[in-house]
Structures are given as structure tokens and as C-alpha cells.
Chain A
């Protein structure tokens, strides 16, 4: 057995500090993000993308198949491009038609399988899929940019670089479904395959291949070649709403593992005693890249734009004082950042992790959830009470009876069976509330615990409604980062913070919130192209245009 030496680390930031919505809503992608680790793996394997099928008309409508061998298995993206009338184009989840639809297929599909997917994929949720279909997705064009790029290429020119920078993608996905939805394969079927063990690995592979398809499509319609630096900056957009938010609550072990990996990475780099000159120079370069990235990040929403403007100024301010020499320089950098906003602190956390692949990349292997919600059961109510005292004090503080303490409720919509958030005192449906009120449930459990200890089973026989809270307490006792330590039904709860946390783990950048409930983002911007999967392929943290 190989001896593993655990690198030194400072104490991890405590969950009470990390697991707050306002901080989670300030997170940036890191080298642990799933897209980064996926592309590192593709590069390590020197994955070769082929395009065995390209059946497109002049207007770019038809279908294509991309195949690759990865981790000892063949996978294919089947992409279908449809002529969508403008009046049908919407990013809303209620949409029934899209510019393009995709399936990540297990293997290389034959003509029959391609025909099946070409017929089914454009229907998305209205169709049924097979266990060979691993991921289902769809995307709409940024018509403005797509049309501009086509015109430029047809004119023998390159597209306007400012427009490329401002939009950043040719298409944006509006859903990327995995894990058994609509009959596609369960994640358990592929979870132990090399390269797909990580969270959302199949989905990330799909997104990267979709981006590749969008480049091919625009070049096909435009009849020209995009310059590599322009192509590299064209990522894939995404519109994400409340449908994604409950995932962090319903997958507490996964959330714990993601946050634990990230905090461990940070604690390891903070423990580095001194940096080499090369490491100092690298950090300086990256900190300036971050400044440039912030300068290129503009959003229409005035309040979020104001936040970005403040972050730009604060980042410049902290950079003027930042030195990476001396002892424990990265610990000092984090201490300096602590005097600024959460935005600065979390950007600094992402920065200091970035150059230290050898210290942190192995943590990517700890971010999945192969054991599910496994934890030792607590035997009696006294043990439950102690666990609540030690790990759930945050849940006991809010007044959940106050109007502001329970002003919102989560529910599942009748129209598309998607999570939604309602106003408890002005909208109907609170009696059908989804159980995302973890804090309230823990507080209620704590209040119901008997004076005299008794077996948990006996307690639940009398109070079955507290079983979920019991489960969460048991999990929380061994998974410290499993819970968002805020009141998710408070009037002040902003779901956008949950979205940003999750999307940063995906590797998203250029958050463009459209309200406190949904955001557009860009994925894969700056990521290597299919013919750039080499040793230098991993250097795209906070990408900037033509660096």
C-alpha cells in the first residue's frame, strides 16, 4: 500500500463562517471546480475528439455526432440543431422548443440510435430516453452574437472583439439533465468509470462538447474559420434558476464534500511557510489577471454592477499592499482580505489555491459522494440533543414564527414540476411546502426532545414528523459542512446565493444575475479547445480576453 503523506494545514475555516449564504453567494471558481478537473483529465489522456457525423444544411440545421475515448470508454455527443421561430425562443423552463438539443451517449451510436435520439432529444422532458443516454441538454442561441459572427465570417472577417467579450458565448444551455431524469442512465451506472467519478463529470463533459459544437456550427454557417483566441473566449452560456437551488439542501453529504475539499485546499496553502520566487511571480500574475477579469465583467443589473465596481476597487486596493514574500504569505493574504467584503475574501481564497496543483488537485477525488447519506445512527435522544448543541446552534437562533422568519416557502410547481419560492403570507400553497426549512425543523426537534432520554425509535414512534430532522442531525454530526447555516425560508433569503455557490463549483464565471432568483453565467470561457488538450491546458482560471 502506498504511504500517503497529508500535507500540513492551518485549521479549516469553521462551518459557522463558511456555510453562510452571503459568503456562499460570493464564491468564485477554483482549480477544484468540476470543469477544471474534467479538462485536466481530458488533457492527461490526450483525448481526441472526432466528428463521425456532420449532417447540416447551409443554414446550420441538422445533426452531428462527436465521439471520444475517455477513461477507457467511448462517449458521443449527439447534437441536433433546429430552425426555431424567434417567437418560440425562451430560456424559461416552460419552453417546449429550443435551437438545439443534445444527448451524451454511452458509446458510438449507430444509425438507428442516432435516428432515435434525433427524434427524441428536441422534445426534451416530453420524451423518454434509454440507459445509453447519459446526459440530456438543450441550448438557445445568442441570436445577436451568432448572427454577427456568421455575417463577419461570410464577409471574410473576424467578429467584433468587443462583442465577443461582452456576450462571451454563441449558445446558452437552459437545462443539463443527468442521473436518471426522463429515463436516461442513473449516475450509479457510470459513477465508477475513470474520469466520470467526480460530481457532474458527465454533465461537464457534455457542456464542453456542446461548446465545441457551437464553434463548428457558426463556422459552418459562416463559411470561415474563427481565430483561435476568439474561439477560446467563446464559452457556453447558461440560464439557471430556482430549479438548481434545492440541490444543495437535498444533497447534504455532497455539499459537505465539496466545501470540505475547498476549505482543505485553502488550509493547506495557508500553511505554506515560504514561496519561491517563481511562485510569487505566478501569484502576482494571477492577481493581475483577476483584476483584468473583473474589468471585463459587466452586467446590466445596477445593484450587481455596483457590487462588481466595488470589488474592482477593493481588489486594486488590496493588491497594492499584497506581498507574497515572508513567512506564511498566503495566510497573511487571507488575513488581509478579511478586512474587506466577502467578495474580496472569496476571490482571494480562489487566487491562493490556484498555483498549487500538487497540494490541492488530489482533493478532487474526495468531492463525490459514493457512499450516499451513510453515517452512524445516534442511539438516543440525549445524543441527539448533544449533537444539536454542538453542530446546530445556528438553527436554534432564528424566530421562525415571526413573519420575516418564515416569509417565504419552497414548493414544486404544477406547470413543470420545478422548485419555486413563494411568499407565505400573500401566495397560496404553503400547506404543500417542500422541506427546505432545515433550521426550523431542527429547532422544532430540539423543542420536542423529552427530558428523559429514550431511544430515537421510541421518540419517532410518538413524533414521526421529526424523522427528517433526526436524519439531518445525524449527518451533521459527522459532516460539518453539510448544512447551509441560514434560514432558507426567511424573507431575507436570497436563492441567488445558493446558485452562485453551486455554479462556482461547476466552474462558472461572469455571473450575470437577472434577479435574486436566476442568473446567466458562462461556462468553459477560456477553456482549451479540442485541439489544445495539452500540458498547458489547465491555465484558464478567471479567463480574460486575449491575455
Chain B
């Protein structure tokens, strides 16, 4: 699937929610997933993170980075962990300016807490079809069949639309 960054971000977030992640962590994963694919990092990392739910990096990585931010250290080192590229993507998708570079088993963060992250527009994001299908399946777990009452009350309901 080739789509917009917003589409990929939302799909990844919904997939994480459908896989059992709490809402905030799911949306952090969505942002990181878009960043990850834009940077041409391995899509397998995203699959692995989804596979690990309801535990794993989708819950752990935001906490790791939050702990760094709480320490208010402009320069910090964190372990690269088992999915180092995904750790980089999480670091680079924070709301404040943060650059991250990997050196072996460590990632060095350079953080500016009072400066928002630059939003770099991208034209297209490629999400491998197999991962897209997996995400869609997980996301579908959040959908609820409409009731007749809901249908009766929805926009456009109950009127002749030819008026």
C-alpha cells in the first residue's frame, strides 16, 4: 500500500489499539511507525512490535524516552534494545525536537525540550502489503456493528433526500 503519512500513522495506531495497546501508546506507535517507514527502516520491526502486544516495545519505548525527558538531560544515552531501528523511530517522533544516532548497542539522544519537533512533509509512504493487511485485521477488532437505532439516528436518516 502506498499512501499518505497520516493514513499510515492512523492505521498503525488503530492496529496497536486493536492488538491491546492503551490509547496513548497506540498513537505513539502510529507516529513512530510512519517515521520508521519514511526512513526506510525494516517493516519487520513494526510487525514484531505488534506481535509482542499487549507487552513489548509499544509499551516500553515511550516509558524509556519519557524517563529521559524527565531527567531533563539535553544529551542522553539509552540502550538500543532488541529493535534498535524502532527505538530510533520512537525517539525521532517525539513532540519536541530530538535527534537520535545509534552507535553499537547505544543510542545517543540530543533533546531540546522547549522546541517542537519539525514536521517534515513527505509525499508518499510505502507500507508493505502484508503488514498493511495485518494492521487492517487488528484495527478491525475495534469496529462495532451498527445497531438499527444508530442507523435510524445517523446523518441523512429519516428524510427524503431528493428534496
Contacts and interface: CB of A to CB of B under 8 A. Distances in A.
A187 B6 contact: yes
B121 A188 contact: yes
Interface in B107-139: 113-114, 116-117, 119-124
Contacts of B145: 413-415, 428-429
A390 interface: no
A243 B155 CA distance: 9
Interface stretch (A7-15, A288-296, A457-465): A457-465
A468 B156 contact: no
B22 to A, nearest CB: 5
Contacts of B159: 91, 514
A113 B66 CA distance: 46
B3 A517 contact: no
A142 B63 contact: no
A185 B119 CA distance: 15
A414 B3 contact: no
B122 A186 contact: yes
A191 B25 CA distance: 27
A131 B22 contact: no
Interface in A359-407: 370-377, 379-380
B4 interface: yes
Contacts of A20: none
B156 A174 contact: yes
B154 A93 contact: yes
A467 interface: yes
Contact of B4 (A180, A517, A518): A180
A100 interface: no
A179 interface: yes
Contacts of B95: 372-375
Nearest to B114: A376
A240 B155 contact: yes
A475 to B, nearest CB: 10
Nearest to B145: A414
Interface in A460-502: 460-461, 464-465, 467-468, 470-471
B70 A186 contact: no
Given A92-B156, A420-B144, A420-B154, A457 B66 contact: yes
29 contacts: A92-B155, A143-B162, A174-B155, A179-B6, A185-B123, A188-B119, A240-B155, A241-B156, A374-B96, A374-B117, A377-B69, A380-B70, A412-B144, A414-B143, A415-B146, A427-B150, A429-B145, A432-B142, A455-B67, A455-B70, A467-B22, A467-B23, A467-B62, A468-B24, A514-B155, A515-B157, A515-B158, A518-B153, A518-B157
Interface of A: 86, 89-93, 95, 128, 131, 140, 142-144, 174, 179-189, 191, 239-243, 370-377, 379-380, 411-415, 417, 420-423, 427-429, 432, 434-435, 455-458, 460-461, 464-465, 467-468, 470-471, 514-515, 517-518
